[in-house]
Structure 1
């Protein structure tokens, strides 16, 4: 049987390697072999398809800028992975955290000492002046030139990669789930070559959530109101009520349901006081965003609507970063489940 062309080509290549007869010097071949071995050892290059754009990393980023975006997902994920020393400027922070020491760790991070724009975020020229090699944003909003931000192309021109967190490509996190928190961890794990750390965090979170969900399986699902404390985000009295997004997945895993999920398809519901008063609310989750006393807000809310079962039973819990995209959703599931189903634990 004759040898086919691919086999001939392979044999010729092997002959060239053995005899140094194919035009490349021994130094060239040694260099190429060393580079290939190094790439295999370090895990680079890494290419991610992020919001339709290819982002290639040839090494672990060392000058990371974390944009605000009313998020703590990105900075919390980096800290959970032990990557805080890579951050040269961070604009994220809830002021509180369910993870001991995290709020203090976030506060200690450098901010870049820059003047923020009207959106409390980093304008284009200041961003470029930070000389980042990676910029993180929770949505594409942070890379929109109409908002005065550096675009992804502009960042690429100065040698910086960029990354938009899961479900942030269309600036609408209404479909976000806990799985997106895991995806963020995995992506950061790949980018920084710490996938082993990311997978350990994911496995622990999945185990914790599974145990909670098993305890509350078959229980009646109380109706829960989830909102940010002392924050106005809409035109009505209750514009900071969350109707969709990752909070609904957390509630479901904790044995509850969102009392206002049917009011809109958007992330936030813009509710009138009359609508809120007419809804049976069994429990309240208050999310603190730089609010030093969210419990006071929760008590005021329950006093305002004494007809709620939540008010009659004083059923509320205050949380912060664990209710958002990030590495600590299992803590929110545990705390919400214990509030809703105390006899199950």
Structure 2
């Protein structure tokens, strides 16, 4: 699958891993290993069967999944959510990776997860036969694309035939991450909390995240909202020079919480705006957020961008930051809100 497909699907979807800042900074949160006592509580509790509605399907779990496969899709939302909930030991194959993370130890923990030694298909993901061979009891995908037969993947019905449940992440049913907000990151956490009978952990992560974002938003309330350009480093999503500029989705929710606004929100109704250099040059940009998706030297990319458009206030004031997984779906959005707010309104902190 060309680079453009995974990232397009991901970005709102994945645009802001709710990594529950305060609660996720520990080694436990990064590695996804829960304590023995909490594991015992989760497995011993009589919370099953559990049924969740997902993309018009009812998925019933008679016990907590123990052989989880996480598909690629250009995301780390799903694997990071499992790690944040202390469920890393349930994963038998993860194809997700982002290269860096705002959560200490997270990128290393993701890299250390088993892949199942699968030969991936042209879409950089797990083909049907290999998927069945992994003997999963839960398969997670960021959109329905990961379960389409025409792409060589196991369908949800085929997985059900081998006693495997399946799950599509929030806003992935219609493959429209342009609608995504931070609340979708919370839904992913809540759903997995129910599936694995660890709702207490999920609710704590959500409460901590909400508290963190509310505190930041209170500090910047009433301040002028700088116009922010958000784009992926060295990533082509369309035909124009600036085709990885984010226009809609969870990014806008993050910017709002941080006291900012998307400089290109009106440029497109879809997640990405496919822009010419002339359009970008004609727009006032007060700050730049570069998202690194396995990119080489994203900071260098940001500096190069500011040199290319010296007329921007962002260039004159050198106002930029580099983020990764906290900028989309997942368990770390409050980290992005905090960092962007400190960039835009340093005097408030």
TM-score (norm 1): 0.88
The match for 2:177 is: 173
The match for 2:313 is: 309
- Give 1:1-345 correspondences, 5 Å limit: 41-345=45-349
Q: Give the superposed CA RMSD.
A: 1.3
Contact 2:45 2:197 (8 Å CA) reproduced: no
Q: Where in structure 1 are there 5+ consecutive unaligned residues?
A: 1-38
Worse-superposed segment, 328-337 or 289-298: 289-298
CA displacement at 1:92 relative to structure 2: 0.7
Cα 1:295–1:40 change in 2 (3 A) is closer
The match for 1:20 is: none
CA displacement at 1:238 relative to structure 2: 1.0
Q: Where in structure 2 are there 5+ consecutive unaligned residues?
A: 1-42
SS of 1:225's equivalent in the other structure is: strand
C-alpha distance in structure 1 between counterparts of 2:136 and 2:303, whole Å: 44
CA displacement at 1:292 relative to structure 2: 3.9
C-alpha distance in structure 2 between counterparts of 1:205 and 1:128, whole Å: 36
SS of 2:290's equivalent in the other structure is: strand
SS of 2:321's equivalent in the other structure is: strand
Per-residue CA deviation, residues 210-245 of structure 1 (Å, 9 max, x unaligned), is 000000001111110101101111111111111000
CA displacement at 1:40 relative to structure 2: 9.8
Which runs of structure 1 show a deviation greater than 2 angstroms over 4 or more consecutive aligned residues? Answer: 39-42
Q: Which has the higher contact order (CA 8 A, sep 6+)?
A: 2
Bigger-Rg structure (1/2): 1
Cα 1:40–1:117 change in 2 (3 A) is closer
Per-residue CA deviation, residues 57-101 of structure 1 (Å, 9 max, x unaligned), is 000000000001111100000000000000000011110000000
User: How many residues in Structure 1 have an aligned counterpart in Structure 2?
Assistant: 308
CA displacement at 1:42 relative to structure 2: 2.2
C-alpha distance in structure 1 between counterparts of 2:346 and 2:100, whole Å: 24
TM-score (norm 2): 0.87
C-alpha distance in structure 2 between counterparts of 1:122 and 1:311, whole Å: 43
Contact 2:229 2:263 (8 Å CA) reproduced: yes
Per-residue CA deviation, residues 174-231 of structure 1 (Å, 9 max, x unaligned), is 0100000000000000000000000000000000000000000011111101011011
